[in-house]
Amino acid sequence: MTTKTVSDRNAPVIEDRSQLIEFFARGEKPRDRWRIGTEHEKFVFSLADHHAPGYDEPGGIRDLLMALTEFGWQPVEENGQVIAMTGADGSISLEPAGQFELSGAPLDNLHQTCAETGRHLHQVKAVGDRLGIGFLGLGMWPDKARADLPIMPKGRYAIMLRHMPRVGSMGLDMMLRTCTIQTNLDYASEADMAQKFRVALALQPLGTALFANSPFTEGKPNGYLSYRSHIWSDTDPARTGMLPFVFEDGFGYERYADYALDVPMYFVYRDGRYIDAAGLSFRDFLDGRLSVLPGERPTIEDWADHLSTAFPEVRLKTFLEMRGSDGGPWDRICALPALWVGLLYDQGALDAAWDLVKDWSMEAREELRGAVPRLALDAPLPGGGKLRDIAGEVLDIATAGLTARARIDASGSNETGFLDPLREIVRSGKVPAELLLERYHGAWGGDLSRVYDELSY
């Protein structure tokens, strides 16, 4: 989730609805300026007893953050508490229960992205070894109940934790017990954004399936392959889902702005503190009728904050965010941006991907999204067959897209090798969660504590 590092007191007040739409247009970039941003979260655990460290405890989350200053990271404070770090590789932030996230810098190619990931993981492992903590790559805590988990001292999280139970049964699980990998990509124009949004949204269930990695809840199999994805089905229907309007004729910035205006607010950030506005209307805010700030109108920064509180499968800011995948091990962190860059950053690949999904009905898309958390690649495909039937073809399209980009590293390799973990999943027919369940029922003998040895970074 977003961590505020700076508040702009001089951000312009929104005087006209057109400014909301222009916000998205400001994200347009020519192809040679398209970048790749990768975000990945991991669970932090004590090597001694596997508990989730609190913020203040010795060797806990605050100590972990501050130890990273030796690598050049600079602390970001909120109300006197360090809640993030900034540096050349982007920002490090805390999810609500201490999940540790790198929001990487915008980079030109996947070689740089994977190098950034490697630097980050080497750094946290070095610090973790000294502090007695480890890092786990899964989509959901495999053995922790909500009550087992600490809460981080961030103002927006306090508001969300109060509000989530009012609007869904699993919002607290989303906040406290899940981890994801996502990638953020650019667009050249409104039309380019719309085509990329449609392809990414239609194929997001495939991303969920290939990265499905959360089959355990509180120490036992939960009946799902991506329980993290299932959690989103009852988190908050007003701000989640597949966004049918994206596939309608005329979709563009204005239609997404209308959607975002109808997403209930969480907060307003003023003078270093979060003001609880949960459930209130941004439309009222535009009219100066927000009850918690009567007479005040929002700034463009408020609009940017508000956009960060919508959680659809693909999200628009001044870039597009692919949000459908579980957290996982080192090599799959690099594979996720490789999949979406291959599909979306070459026009031939983008057109081929759209041809594959353009005839799916919205009902069929919703059915696929609903089936994937439990069935992964065995989810029924629109028009017949199973999702696995197109997985190889989609990877072939992504491979062609990456080949056409021709981003070569010092050894002469292009970016296609980063797809290898996904090719192996398609070749074997088994997603990561299915392999975990095989271990659980086989070599582990039902002892889920083995996950800490075998899935730690």
Reported as a single tens digit per residue, the pLDDT across 55-100 is: 999 999 999 999 999 999 999 999 999 999 999 999 999 999 999 9
In a domain, 177, yes or no: yes
Residue 280 lies in a domain: no
Determine the Cα–Cα distance for residues 214 and 228; give it in Å rounded to an integer: 6
- CATH number, domain of 397, equals 3.30.590.20
Q: What is the dihedral of CA 345, 349, 351, 356, to 10 degrees?
A: -130
Instruction: Please check whether residue 251 lies inside any domain of the structure.
Output: yes
List Cβ neighbours of 47 (8 Å cut-off, separation of 6 or more). 128, 132, 133, 134
Number of folded domains in the chain?
A: 1
Instruction: Compute the chain's Rg from CA coordinates.
Output: 21
> In 3D, which of 324, 405, 401 has the Cα closest to residue 108?
405
- Pairing verdict, β 240-241 and 133-136: unpaired
pLDDT tens, residue order, the chain (457 aa): 555 545 555 789 999 999 999 999 999 999 999 999 999 999 999 999 999 999 999 999 999 999 999 999 999 999 999 999 999 999 999 999 999 999 999 999 999 999 999 999 999 999 999 999 999 999 999 999 999 999 999 999 999 999 999 999 999 999 999 999 999 999 999 999 999 999 999 999 999 999 999 999 999 999 999 999 999 999 999 999 999 999 999 999 999 999 999 999 999 999 999 999 999 999 999 999 999 999 999 999 999 999 999 999 999 999 999 999 999 999 999 999 999 999 999 999 999 999 999 999 999 999 999 999 999 999 999 989 999 999 999 999 999 999 999 999 999 999 999 999 999 999 999 999 999 999 999 999 999 999 999 999 9
The answer as to whether 79 is a domain residue is yes
Return the pLDDT at 207.
98
Distances in whole angstroms, Cα of residue 23 to Cα of each of 180, 217, 316: 27, 40, 11
Domain contains 268:
no
Phi-psi region of 320 (alpha: psi -120 to 50; beta: other; left: phi over 0): beta
What's the confidence (pLDDT) of residue 444? 98
Locus of tokens 């969660």: 433
Contact 311, 240 (CB under 8 A): yes
> Does residue 283 fall inside a structural domain?
no
Domain containing 194: what range?
18-263+310-440
- Looking at residue 89, its pLDDT comes to 98
Q: Where are the alpha helices (DSSP H) in 287-446?
A: 300-307, 330-344, 347-357, 362-375, 388-405, 420-428, 432-441
Using alpha carbons, select from 315, 203, 194, 311 the residue that is nearest to residue 248: 194
Tell me the pairing of strands 273-276 and 320-326.
unpaired
User: Rounded to whole angstroms, how far apart are CA atoms 18 and 27?
Assistant: 15
Burial 62-94, CB ≥16 within 10 A → b, else e: bbbbebbeebebebbebeebbbbbbbebbbbbb
* Beta strands 320-326; 74-78: pairing state: unpaired
Instruction: Please tell me the distance from the alpha carbon of residue 97 to that of residue 176, in angstroms, as a whole number.
Output: 5
Please state, in angstroms and rounded to a whole number, the distance separating the CA atoms of residues 404 and 342.
9
C-alpha dist (Å) from residue 16 to 19, 205, 255, 298: 6, 37, 16, 11
Burial of 176 (0-12, 13-18, 19+ CB in 10 A): buried
Residues 350, 195 contacting (CB under 8 angstroms): yes
* Residue 294 placed within a domain: no
Q: What pTM value is reported for the model? A: 0.97
